[in-house]
Structure 1
């Protein structure tokens, strides 16, 4: 009897464990079909010294827009805190990308007062969009998303240089609208969309901006992006024919496993008033520039990147200006940024040296109208050199 009981107990246990194992297989199979929720983000902090020792302790120069984010000198700063949540399935992706800090405020460019007044929570949204993928090659995205234009992005860990180019600073940061992406093949793709204009939460007139992109990969490791945005940015009731247009070419090439090069070139025009600002331009005015990039990896944990950029706004239509009768200007910038990756890839250190050089404003009486401030608070410098380091934690 005891022997029979032991046999029955053994059989029950085997059956129970077998059912449990089968249930686990079914559960794992079901879980694999469920959507995946991921959470990521980063924190960056930096310190930059300005060798001009400006009295105001700022890197922004006379016109106030010479640097995109790293605008203060001789001060420890928190750049950005990002929290990004992504929920994805085979057919759907939802992204909520929230940012806080100095760079988040500056990245909202043109929307200093939100829909609920100063301090509106809308200003914390960097991205918030839904993407539906009816097929593997076709997707539709609607909401607020990063711009497709340019080489550099707001996320500091994704750029080799820490400070941002003038091309980045004068191009769009984000769009609110809808777009369609078609991946014709691994080496050719198209994007087309309609948005609320340039860096606008709300459109300032009835016309919508049109965005587009053509992607081509001519060879292994070589990517080319031709980007465009065209939009009526004139304020309602002033000029229905005003127009903003920007063509942007971005290309990258992985020359060897350790050597990488890139280029960003842009050409834009404006007519009318730009989002209600003065002056008013009866004829299209142009601006543009080119930036060259080169990165070398010495080891898996250390490398160096160089950026050389020329930006031309002599027409005065964009935001890089000098103090002589509030006219436009041009600038040459050179940046060297070593990169070190520590703590199993979680921590990035980016020491950086950058030189911004403007043409000297000649003529008697213009000695105090140069681009940059000296230690006495006078604008007697036509160039500035900054040196410092950023620390970035990415998770």
Structure 2
């Protein structure tokens, strides 16, 4: 009898344990992450209102707020959702929703290699991202400012191997991210990646009234030594309807001196092209990265912009401008 009771209790325990495990697995996985950034910036050449290269909808000398970025993610089985909310001047400058929704999408893993994503997602195009936690420099490049920033639509990612990947996308024109598409025009996107090198292409309507805009972009880099990294971004855009476009290139030269400190230099050359003639601007940015903790990073930065065509944003009467910034970026 004791053996029967023991066997029964053991079996019941296994069933309960298995049920608890199954219930736990059914609950899925929830994660919360994000970043907060603040800064002080000043013009070293003049007292003119405006900061050099700071992504903000309220540029000014002195102390400034970046944005708070909170990313809610939930995954259960093969499907999941991401709600990426961003508030603040930096988010406003890069988002037509005035910073409320940075990303909002659902995804489904059809297989180990294929993932389908539907909704609004940050662009696959370019080297830099909206959140400063993903960038080495605090100020942004002209290539980043040329956009696009985000897309609303459907994309399919295919991981052919650990080194090779492909992506296809059909989206609204990238300037339309409010959930409607009154023009009934679309944009096609493509990406192929191989060992950290990415070629990006987008073609179609841009949301500004033009339907034949071509975007080409290369983003990549490599480790020259154990401590020295070289990043590369080159892009080209052209529209026959607009008779305009842009082209540019930037290097991201970064050296890691210790676990706590790295130094980076970003030279960039950028041109706006049109039938009326081209205008050019160059920017040279020196940035340090001090890791005070695993979460808190301090970025002191000096940036020099120069343009004989006087097209530095915020300074139409100047052919050069120098800015100094110190930023704090906290990631959680």
The TM-score, its normalising length taken from structure 2, stands at 0.88
Matched, 1:385 2:322: yes
| Separation in 1, partners of 2:228, 2:105 | 35
Distance in structure 2 (CA, Å) of the matches to 1:38 and 1:332: 40
Three-state SS of the structure 2 residue aligned to 1:185 is coil
1:309 to 250, 268, 272: 268
Q: CA offset at residue 42 of structure 1?
A: 1.1
Partner of 1:229: 202
- For structure 1, the 5+ residue unaligned runs are 1-7, 61-65, 218-222, 273-280, 318-326, 362-368, 374-378
Q: Structure 1 residue 354 and structure 2 residue 323: aligned?
A: no
How far 1:249 sits from its partner (Å)? 0.5
Q: 1:194 aligns with which of 170, 176, 179?
A: 170
Q: Within 2, Cα distance between the matches of 1:124 and 1:372?
A: 25
Shift of 1:296: 1.3
1:216 aligns with 2:194: yes
Cα deviation, 1:234-286, whole Å, max 9, x if unaligned, reads: 777xx7xx4111000001213343222110000100233xxxxxxxx3xx433
Shift in Å, 1:383: 0.7
CA distance in 1, matches of 2:28, 2:182: 38
How far apart, in 1, do the equivalents of 2:17 and 2:122 lie? 41
Describe the superposition over 1:163-214 as per-residue Cα deviations: whole angstroms up to 9, x where unpaired: 1100000020000000111111111111111101123123352221101101
Residues 18 and 347 (structure 1 numbering): CA distance in 2 closer, same or farther, change over 3 Å? farther
Compute the displacement of 1:354 (Å): 0.7
Query: TM-score by structure 1 length?
Result: 0.75
For residues 269 and 57 of structure 2, the distance between their equivalents in structure 1, rounded to whole angstroms, comes to 19
Aligned counterparts of 1:370 and 1:35: Cα–Cα separation in 2: 49
**Does the aligned pair in 2 maintain the 1:351–1:389 contact within 8 Å?**
yes
Contact 1:138 1:183 in 2 (8 A): yes
> Counterparts of 1:135 and 1:372 in 2: how far apart (Å)?
49
Q: Which residue of 1 aligns with 2:254?
A: 295
Q: Which runs of 4+ in 1 moved over 6 A?
A: 15-22, 369-372
Output aligned runs, 1:265-276, within 5 Å.
Answer: 265-272=234-241
Contact 1:143 1:176 in 2 (8 A): yes
Q: Distance in 2 between matches of 1:35 and 1:257?
A: 39
- Whether the 8 Å contact between 1:204 and 1:233 is mirrored in structure 2 is no
Q: If you compute each CA radius of gyration, which structure gives the higher value, 1 or 2?
A: 1
Q: Which string of whole-angstrom CA distances, capped at 9 and with x for unpartnered residues, describes residues 79-119 of structure 1?
A: 011111001134112100011000111111xx3xx6xxxx7
Task: Give the counterpart of 2:75 among 85, 88, 111.
Answer: 88
Give the corresponding residue for 1:173.
149
Query: Structure 1 residues 138, 387: CA separation in 2 closer, same or farther (over 3 Å shift)?
Result: same
Shift of 1:380: 4.8
Q: Distance in 2 between matches of 1:79 and 1:67?
A: 9
Q: Please report the RMSD computed on the Cα atoms of aligned residues, expressed in angstroms.
A: 3.0
1:164 is matched with which residue?
140
**Bigger mean CA offset, 161-170 vs 33-42:** 33-42
Q: How far is the alpha carbon of 1:73 from its aligned partner?
A: 3.7
Q: Is the 8 A contact 2:41 2:64 kept in 1?
A: no
CA distance in 1, matches of 2:77, 2:223: 30
**Which residue number corresponds to residue 38 of structure 2?**
45
How far is the alpha carbon of 1:300 from its aligned partner?
1.4
Structure 2, unaligned stretches of length 5 or more? none
Partner of 1:336: 286
Hey, what's the Cα distance between the residues in 2 that align with 1:143 and 1:254?
Answer: 35
1:251 aligns with 2:220: yes
- Is residue 55 of structure 1 aligned with residue 48 of structure 2? yes
Check the 8 A contact 1:255/1:261 in 2, yes or no.
yes
The more displaced of 329-338 and 137-146 is: 329-338
